[in-house]
Structure 1
Amino acid sequence: MGSKTDSLGNWLTLGYELFSEEGHEGLQVERLSRILGKNKSGFYHFFGDKDVYLEQLMQLHLANEERLIPEFVELAQIDRRFVELMVAHKQTILFQTQLVKNRDVKLFQDTFQQVHQMVEAAIEPAWVRYLGISEEVAMRYWRLIRDTFYARVTLESFNQEWVAGFVKEARLILHEAQKDSTPD
């Protein structure tokens, strides 16, 4: 027989997965309980209501991102290792994507901002080296590329080939823009 913590963890693990794939619309208590093969009363026993559940999912997301940050900090360059990290942490990144897509919900916006600050600080040195431009311009471009990534990525497209192509395209666009802006 599983412990109380295991059961609580099952609700959160499933919710994290569904949120990553479908957003908060995929989190109906009845659906969660059906998938887990548990009674809906278990959900209310652990969480009381859906708002508490969502708050705990956001805390889980922050913890997942905090575990990812040291790996970003260690990157010397935006390269194959960066792409591998992105793909290895696909669910966490897709969760963040759902926060962006549903940022009209204050809890989601606040969580997105917390994560964004951590990730941006961690990725900045490698991103600046990758682009070979000033820190200020590189980070302004990072935000633009980040938002474009969130707008374009899907559960189906999120794989090593797609991410590598996206990163390469981001660099190419910047270098083409630089060439176009230099006087002849």
Structure 2
Amino acid sequence: MKAKMQWIEEGYKMFSHRGPEGIKIEKLAREVGINKSSFYHHFADVEIFTEHLLEHHLGHIIQLAEKEKQATNLDELIEIFIQHKTDLLFNRYLRVHRNNPRFLKYLITTNEIAGNAILNIWAQILELEENSYLARLVLKLSVENFFLQITDKTINQKWLKDYFNQLKTMVREFKKNNHK
């Protein structure tokens, strides 16, 4: 079982940084330090392996969502995002390759889980506690933009804080202009 998890964890990192086309069995075998016949013993083919990666990702998103529910401020949320950088990058590739029905299925599921979990802190950060409908709309619109922009380098304290501050400014301007 240990070898199987090594394959999955290393494959998960590979997918997160290079997407599905970045999964190369020979390179993966070198990274894991196990010969590639072990891969075929555990998974038979890349399709089955990918399904394991998707399930692994779902488990990580459930963990991420639990932490998001516990966040009480922006700094805590940013720290959670930094801790789950690989998961966010994996999700980015699901989004990029959502024309694949399996990826789309997991993208929809993970977005629903994480989106529902983050909504309270999201509304608080954007000062929209009184309007959860608007908070959900802003979340839906900004998620696409967020995943278009994130990279291994941008998921850091400064970039994330700037990103959220830009969203806060935008929401404040909308609210201000709505009252005129």
- State the TM-score bracket (shorter-chain normalisation): over 0.9
1:19 maps to 15
Matched with 2:46 is 50
Residues 1:123 and 2:115 aligned together: no
Output the TM-score relative to the length of structure 1.
Answer: 0.91
CA distance in 2, matches of 1:50, 1:22: 15
Alpha-carbon shift at residue 32 of structure 1 (Å)? 1.1
Query: 2:155 maps to which residue?
Result: 158
**Structure 1 match to 2:2:** 6
Alignment partner, residue 34 of structure 2: 38
CA distance in 2, matches of 1:110, 1:181: 37
**Identity of paired residues, percent?**
26
Q: CA deviation at 1:68?
A: 1.8
Residue 95 (structure 2) aligns with? 100
Q: Of the candidates 161, 175, 179, which is equivalent to residue 178 of structure 1?
A: 175
Q: Which residue of 2 aligns with 1:139?
A: 136
Q: Deviations 1:93-139 (Å, cap 9, x if unpaired)? A: 11111111111111111111111111111111121222233111110
The number of residue pairs the alignment matches comes to 178
1:14, distance to aligned residue in structure 2 (A) = 0.6
Q: State the match for 1:113 in structure 2.
A: 108
Match of 1:81 in 2: 76
State the distance in 1 between where 2:31 and 2:77 align: 34
Q: Shift of the alpha carbon at 1:54?
A: 0.4
Q: Identify the range of structure 1 (34-43 vs 118-127) with the bigger mean alpha-carbon deviation.
A: 34-43
TM-score (norm 2): 0.93
Moved over 3 A (4+): none
Which residue does 1:71 correspond to in 2?
67
